[in-house]
Amino acid sequence: MSNTISALPGATYEGAVRVQEMGLCGMISLRGDHGDEKLISAIKDIMGTVMPGQREIVHQDERAAAWMSPDELLLLLPYADVRDALTRLETALAGTHFLAVNVSDARAVFRLHGGSAREVIAKLCPVDMSPGAFGPGQIRRTRMAQIPAAFWMPDEDSVHVVCFRSVAQYAFDLLKQSAHPQAGVGLYA
Amino acid sequence: MSTRLATGGRLLDKGRALEFTFNGKRLKGYEGDTLASALLANDQMMVGRSFKYHRPRGIVASGAEEPNALFNMGAGGKFEPNQRATTTELFDGLTCASQNHWPSLEFDIGAINNSLARFLPAGFYYKMFMHPRPLWKHVYEPFIRQSAGLGKAPRDRDEDTYEHFYAFFDVVVIGGGIAGLLAAREAGRAGAKVLLMEQTAHWGGRAPVDGGTVDGRPVDKVVEEIVSELNEMNNVTLRTRLMGAGVYDHGYLMGYERLTDHQPQAKGPRHRLWRIRAAQIVTATGAIERPLSFAGNDIPGVMLASAVRDYAVDYGVSIGDRTVVVTNNDDAYLTAITLKKLGLDVPAIIDARPQGAGALAEEAKALGIRIETGKGVAKVKGGRRVTGVAICMQAGEGAALEEIACDVVAMSGGWSPVVHLWSHCGGKLLWDNENAMFKPDVDKAPTGAAGEAFVVAAGAANGALKLADTVADAHAAGRKAAKSAGNTPMSGDAPKADSSLENPMQPIWLMPQGAKYELRAKAWLDYQNDVKVSDVQLAAREGFESVEHAKRYTTLGMATDQGKLSNINGLAILSDALDQPIPQTGTTTFRPPYTPISMGAIAGEARGPVFQPLRRTPMHDWHEANSAYWEPVGHWRRPYTFRKTPGEAIDAAVSREITQTRQSLGLLDASTLGKLVVKGPDAGKFLDMLYTNMMSTLKPGRCRYGLMCSENGFLMDDGVVARLDEDTFLCHTTTGGADSIHAHMEDWLQCEWWDWNVYVANLTEQYAQIGVVGPNARKTLEKLSDDDLSAEALPFMAWTDITLAGIKARAYRISFSGELSYEIAVDAGQGRALWDKLMEAGAEFGVTPYGTEALHVMRAEKGFIMIGDETDGTVIPQDLCMDWAISKKKDDYLGKRAQARSFMANTERWKLVGLETIDGSVLPDGAYAVTDGTNANGQRNTQGRVTSSYHSPTLGRGIAMGLVHNGPDRMGQVIDIPKVDGTVIKAKIVPPVFYDPEGKKQNV
């Protein structure tokens, strides 16, 4: 474990918001029938959350379950807990048709923190970031400039963005540029 | 001369003087000036030369419609051509230069074209430069490019930054004049989420200049009140310097915000492109005054009447001492009255209408202004500046009745609603006879997905030109938009406004109406592209009857101003020449953007390091630090080769890597390979359909190479499939296929076989993958692992989980090089750590990292195909003699039926063979093998082509693969392959496997 590194270790930028690569984050991609009782109770047992509804993310302490598609969830948890969680999922869901894989290393995660976090995202993603339309408890899978990305708001002033690991530098550069201190739009901030 | 008045200038801050430079001259202006008003204040009326005849041209307008005042602005990384002076806010230190003249604005050699104008009518270039053909490219085109054209192309990289912004509103109102303000207020009061955008820096549009009252209060005060009311509404956003650039399907609206054009030293982005989704769009875009077509209407000093008024009221600038007003409507009287009240001389108002104006005429008379009704301008006198006008009967042919000395001619031919944004997405127009203008047909608005109208025109943009009508129309438009967006408008009547405009305008398309050819040939329609009345008439005579054809033949309306001034006048002349009503002629198409927007804004953030995403493997930094010579592979960067010493030649490095790998040990970063996990009770069945060979019989722990075809039978991807357990397979795809094959799988699972229990996950980026290749591969791994890696425990085409240097890994014993080879997959976060360990452990074997070219050469030496080299979308596996990889036992697989079609099953197809040059040289990649005779097109017949060609350091000669007609049956035959230099290389047909045909080396 000691030689495991995230995509852009320690990358930070202080602009209109603070942009920070979040280091190693545990992530499991789970495909299965969202209505299946076994799956619902496995999520409850292992993640401590209810099943998220469409475009929702449900948090519990250090863990969260996010809706990715009608048959796909993204489970967020500490990096060190992934193998154990996968084992428990395999046991709990034995006999049902599902797919649970570790995708922690396939991703990079960034945290934006500051009053204009919504605007930084709205420059890159075709999403209505106004407070009435998007906020904590929701997740969007979308496009960030030229790459796929997903994001959610752990609180009113923060956005967590997840993208593929190979494009972490591109994503960080994009976010830095959008968070330029003199580039405020003044619409949401 | 034009000068600054002692008083006036409502937009100026005279406390703040600014200095700027025009053609090297230092001039002064004030905060609040536009570049145009500042130039006029400095008596710089002449601003450029026209496009074709190089005639002197002056400022004509005061807004976005200006055709002449275009400048090269700034210098170096801030340089930009064709900047419109009337929409450029003045700032301290601005530098600009006029365009399209040589050697200088005052003396321009190209002006000789003006005296040749008789010989340069519309279509001249088309007719003149057709013959002889070769002269066009080498003589005519370079000459025309030198003499025509406007601004200079920038030479330096743009220093500024740009960005996009996505925003969503219920109602977006475009235009911050009195109509836009009222519409926004009604929509805001209804509770809609509103954006009100205004292209200039000021609210109110023309209203403060034109005057009038709303509910008994002066309109400029009313503007201020509405702005402050809107500012108080939380649901309303107001933005100035934000232009509505284009309206597109489904309420998509492009806004162009100019953030630092007026303060270029400020930090932050220069322009921002707003990409807006609006439930409803209100176009409150106003109207543009039309010029009149009389001889000499392009001489500097002839301006739109409204512009003369704007410069006086807004900027305290007098265009000249003596202004003659020429009009066909009441509105221009306002200019005469305004100027007279400022103490300037107005020798006459020439009104083409026999009855003249209403109340405004009385007011003008009371001020002592002479009014001539039923008269027109025969011609304007002057060269670089107006010196006078000859007046005539409008009904006549232009015989001068008298000459009036003046230095300004303020003309008004009526007003055209700005219907551009209404029209962009399909809004239709109606001809309004009363005002001789096209206006929105409210019954044929642009429609959304459900057929509902999503654009509402308001105020002057809707044809409601008088203030009273404008106010009522805008009030209703705001309510209508809010209601359509799902809000409930509050009750309340529209404000009542008054208007001094009484008498109807009279359409005047040519002045005088019977003007002779000499006059028509000097009556300009399109100032920027130098199109005259006589040109449009010529086009009609020569058969260009469609307005779109006439436009292209004459270039009317094709300049950067897109005919904002010339459009209606031009098609009226065309209609007259064709003897048909104007609506029958119709308009040309209005296309976005409304005025040109910067390329930078369109590109947004996508420039420099973020021009495109660059994908990096977990070992990318090591490669970078070890002299990787990069090759782009899709968005990835992969090392083509590594230079061991700074001066090492690329081909020498490749050869060194191959030799060292074949003799001892090489490492390949194979992380970019696609890795798709396929799981479920039906996974085996699914893969049997996707691959041509049988995958369901593969045993857990084993690997199998497979081919994937499209429905049309063509080979589209290949790779090794590993069975992880009873339910789970891991499919390796090519680097380029990772995303597309994943999508291909999802497509079939979601659309066709939705009832099959299979899930797919793309784990390409979860793993770093390292090829450990060469006779010493096993020894190297054994140094780092306690697991049994013997040939018995891990045979060829098997996989196992091992621990390597303390890292959990999966080892696939597969080979793309023909050597003993392992591909080691580890979590991406540990890829770099493992790479370092392998380099360290391999040091005693002289380990070499190798790049994509060594990989290519080694696979070609082994006769392994490469997707994209041996395949090009038209090749089936049978062409590649890969029948062994096509299952005979399966009922079906994707491509099976297609491959049975007569052309596919034809035995005459070109098939894969090896090619060995007789002289040992390297064949050109892609070269064709020729055979006797010619085809129907007179081209040499061909019998094959080279698909891969390399120098093999292992064999010390050129090797190639190719597709050759009946190739496998022609072993030993020699075929001719011509090169582009005319010489021919002779190549012998041989089996495609050049190296270790028995496969002993990979299976040890």
pLDDT for A141 beyond 90: yes
Long-range contact pairs involving B120-125 (C-beta distance under 8 Å, separation at least 24): B120/B52, B120/B53, B121/B534, B121/B535, B121/B538, B122/B531, B122/B535, B122/B536, B122/B538, B122/B539, B122/B553, B122/B554, B122/B555, B123/B538, B123/B539, B123/B542, B123/B553, B123/B554
A2 part of a folded domain: no
CB spacing of B833 vs A180 below 8 angstroms: no
Give DSSP secondary structure letters for B585-643: H--PPP-S-SS---HHHHHTT-SGGGSS--B--TTHHHHHHTTEEEEEETTEEEEEEE-
- pLDDT at B313 (0 to 100): 97
B622 CB-near residues (< 8 Å, 6+ apart): B832, B835, B836
How many structural domains compose chain A? 2
**Which residues are paired to B79 by β-bridges?**
none
pLDDT for B149 beyond 70: no
pLDDT in tens, B85-137: 999 999 999 999 998 776 677 777 777 777 777 767 777 766 766 667 777 77
pTM: 0.94
- pLDDT at B501 (0 to 100): 79
Give DSSP secondary structure letters for B790-815: STTTS-TTBEEEEEETTEEEEEE---
A87 chain-B contacts, CB cut-off 8 A: none
Closest CA to B394 of B482, B508, B502: B508
* Mean pLDDT over the full length of chain B: 95
CB spacing of B267 vs A182 below 8 angstroms: yes
Give DSSP secondary structure letters for B544-573: --SHHHHHHHHTTT-STTTTTTTHHHHHHH
Closest CA to B63 of B283, B392, B285, B343: B285
A4 part of a folded domain: no
Note whether A52 and A101 are same-domain residues.
yes
A189 part of a folded domain: no
How confident is the model over B697-723, as a mean pLDDT? 98
What is the Cα–Cα distance from B249 to B425, expressed in whole angstroms?
Answer: 6
What is the Cα–Cα distance from B422 to B404, expressed in whole angstroms?
Answer: 42
Of A101, A166, A177, the CB nearest to B605: A177
What is the Cα–Cα distance from B333 to B326, expressed in whole angstroms?
Answer: 9
A123 part of a folded domain: yes
CB spacing of B610 vs A125 below 8 angstroms: no
A5 part of a folded domain: no
Note whether A170 and A112 are same-domain residues.
yes
Any idea which residue has 């040890």 for tokens? Answer: B1004
pLDDT in tens, B906-941: 999 999 999 999 999 999 999 999 999 999 999 999
pLDDT for B990 beyond 60: yes
SS (H, E, C) B451-502: CCECEEECHHHHCCCCHHHHHHHHHHHHHHHHHHCCCCCCCCCCCCECCCCC
CB pairs under 8 A between A and B: 138
Note whether A30 and A17 are same-domain residues.
no
CB spacing of A128 vs B166 below 8 angstroms: yes
B168 chain-A contacts, CB cut-off 8 A: 128, 130, 133
B761 near B676, Cβ under 8 Å? yes
pLDDT for B144 beyond 60: yes
Range of the domain at A42: 26-105
B730 CB-near residues (< 8 Å, 6+ apart): B675, B676, B677, B678, B721, B722, B724, B763
Amino acid residing at B767: Y
SS (H, E, C) B169-198: EEEEEECCEHHHHHHHHHHHHCCCCEEEEC
Among candidate residues A74, A105, A136, the one where a domain is terminated? A105
Give residue B534's pLDDT band: very low, low, confident or very high (50, 70, 90): very high
B975 near B964, Cβ under 8 Å? yes
A1 part of a folded domain: no
A68 part of a folded domain: yes
How far A59 CA sits from the closest chain B CA (Å)? 24
Note whether A96 and A121 are same-domain residues.
no
pLDDT for A1 beyond 60: no
Note whether A19 and A111 are same-domain residues.
yes
pLDDT for B409 beyond 90: yes
B589 CB-near residues (< 8 Å, 6+ apart): B423, B548
CB spacing of B830 vs A3 below 8 angstroms: yes
Note whether A116 and A168 are same-domain residues.
yes
Residue B23 gets the label, from left (phi > 0), alpha (psi -120 to 50) or beta, of left
Note whether A110 and A78 are same-domain residues.
no
SS (H, E, C) B910-937: EEEEEEEECCCCCCCCCCEEEEEEECCC
How far A187 CA sits from the closest chain B CA (Å)? 8
CB spacing of A130 vs B168 below 8 angstroms: yes
How confident is the model over B254-263, as a mean pLDDT? 97
A145 chain-B contacts, CB cut-off 8 A: 604-606, 610, 613
Lowest mean pLDDT among B131-135, B229-233, B751-755, B777-781: B131-135
What is the Cα–Cα distance from B233 to B181, expressed in whole angstroms?
Answer: 13
Pairing of strands B194-197, B236-239: parallel
pLDDT: is B170 or B450 the higher one?
B170
Give residue B878's pLDDT band: very low, low, confident or very high (50, 70, 90): very high
Note whether A99 and A44 are same-domain residues.
yes
Q: Which of A165, A180, A187 should one mutate to test binding to chain B, selecting the residue with the greatest count of B CBs within 10 A? A: A165
A187 part of a folded domain: no
Residue of B nearest to A171 (CA): B613
How confident is the model over B864-884, as a mean pLDDT? 96
Of B163, B166, B763, the CB nearest to A127: B166
What is the Cα–Cα distance from B850 to B847, expressed in whole angstroms?
Answer: 10
Tokens of B702: 């084993």
What is the Cα–Cα distance from B293 to B289, expressed in whole angstroms?
Answer: 13
What is the Cα–Cα distance from B445 to B465, expressed in whole angstroms?
Answer: 20
**Which residues are paired to B912 by β-bridges?**
B963
What is the Cα–Cα distance from B456 to B478, expressed in whole angstroms?
Answer: 8
CB spacing of B765 vs A164 below 8 angstroms: yes
What is the Cα–Cα distance from B67 to B206, expressed in whole angstroms?
Answer: 19
How confident is the model over B690-709, as a mean pLDDT? 97
How far B620 CA sits from the closest chain A CA (Å)? 10
Among candidate residues A105, A127, A150, the one where a domain is terminated? A105
- Distance, CA of A153 to chain centre: 9
Query: Which CATH number is A162's domain given?
Result: 3.30.1360.120
Q: Which of A166, A174, A187 should one mutate to test binding to chain B, selecting the residue with the greatest count of B CBs within 10 A? A: A166
Note whether A87 and A151 are same-domain residues.
no
Residue of A nearest to B195 (CA): A187
Query: Which CATH number is A39's domain given?
Result: 3.30.70.1520
Of B167, B610, B613, the CB nearest to A187: B167
Lowest mean pLDDT among B47-51, B711-715, B755-759: B47-51
Note whether A132 and A160 are same-domain residues.
yes
pLDDT for B324 beyond 60: yes
Give residue B559's pLDDT band: very low, low, confident or very high (50, 70, 90): confident
Closest CA to B444 of B434, B435, B454: B454
What is the Cα–Cα distance from B806 to B785, expressed in whole angstroms?
Answer: 8
CB spacing of B268 vs A180 below 8 angstroms: yes
How far A9 CA sits from the closest chain B CA (Å)? 11
A167 chain-B contacts, CB cut-off 8 A: 613-616, 635
Among candidate residues A50, A72, A105, the one where a domain is terminated? A105
What is the Cα–Cα distance from B43 to B70, expressed in whole angstroms?
Answer: 17
Note whether A112 and A176 are same-domain residues.
yes
What is the Cα–Cα distance from B461 to B453, expressed in whole angstroms?
Answer: 17
* Mean pLDDT over the full length of chain A: 97
What is the Cα–Cα distance from B326 to B370, expressed in whole angstroms?
Answer: 12
DSSP state of B503: S
pLDDT in tens, B807-840: 999 999 999 999 999 999 999 999 999 999 999 9
Residue B541 exposure: Cα atoms within 13 Å on the Cβ side: 9
B973 near B789, Cβ under 8 Å? no
pLDDT for B573 beyond 70: yes
A69 CB-near residues (< 8 Å, 6+ apart): A141
Closest CA to B256 of B193, B157, B174: B174
How confident is the model over A159-182, as a mean pLDDT? 97
Burial B81-110 (b: 16+ CB within 10 A, else e): bebbbbbbbbbeebbbbbbbbeeebeebeb
Q: Is the ipTM of this complex over 0.90?
A: yes
**Which residues are paired to B967 by β-bridges?**
none
pLDDT in tens, A38-97: 999 999 999 999 999 999 999 999 999 999 999 999 999 999 999 999 999 999 999 999
Tokens of B787: 């697991």
Note whether A117 and A71 are same-domain residues.
no
